[in-house]
Amino acid sequence: MKTTKKILIMLVLFFMTVAGATFCGNKQQEVNVKTLFDMLPYDALPEHVALGELDRDEYICECDYENGYLELAGGHYEWQMCYWSLEDGRKLVAVNQGFETGPRLLFFYYEEGELREDGDYFLWEDITITLEDFVDVSQLHPDIIDDVRENVESLKYILYYQLPQEGTAIKVHIDYEEVIEDFESIPYEALKELTLSWIDEKWVKQ
């Protein structure tokens, strides 16, 4: 009789362990961009959403489950989010939050049902910004190249970001209007985007 009880207890414990592992696995597998959006803290949302009377879902204008991209509407500035799946099972989540003074990028890690902000995440780690990243120097008058280079490489101009809805790369451009205001001789066609590609879980300038 005692042996039978022990066997039953062991079977119960075994099935509880399996069920728990399955639940955690499913919880990790079922996460999508909407799940991650629901987990974001209010300070990662636009003010009109965080303080609005409507549910945050009401402001969604694009929710692309397949590509892991979500966008909000109803405000004066752009707001986007997306995520990248990491080899260790975690997800790197990015939020591009627009303000009058320019954008703010926030990064989070999703792991085992929790979303944690990484305030130390630095997109530009090991990447040097140069004039050639944003301007076709061949179209500039030689007399202004040094001055334009100093302004761009000292980060005088705001950087704007476009998170990917397709692919994995982030697009970056400087404030075109400010550049042309400082240097009227620069043709608009000389200004270009920089692509930061996601390669081996690192950002690479291309």
Which pLDDT value is given to residue 52? 81
Which pLDDT value is given to residue 29? 52
Rounded to the nearest integer, the mean pLDDT of the chain is 88
Average pLDDT over residues 115-134: 96
The answer to whether residue 6 scores a pLDDT higher than 50 is: no
Question: pLDDT tens-digit profile of 138-170?
Answer: 999 999 999 999 999 999 999 999 999 999 999
The answer to whether residue 89 scores a pLDDT higher than 50 is: yes
d(CA 85, CA 201): 9
Residue 25: pLDDT band with limits 50, 70, 90: very low
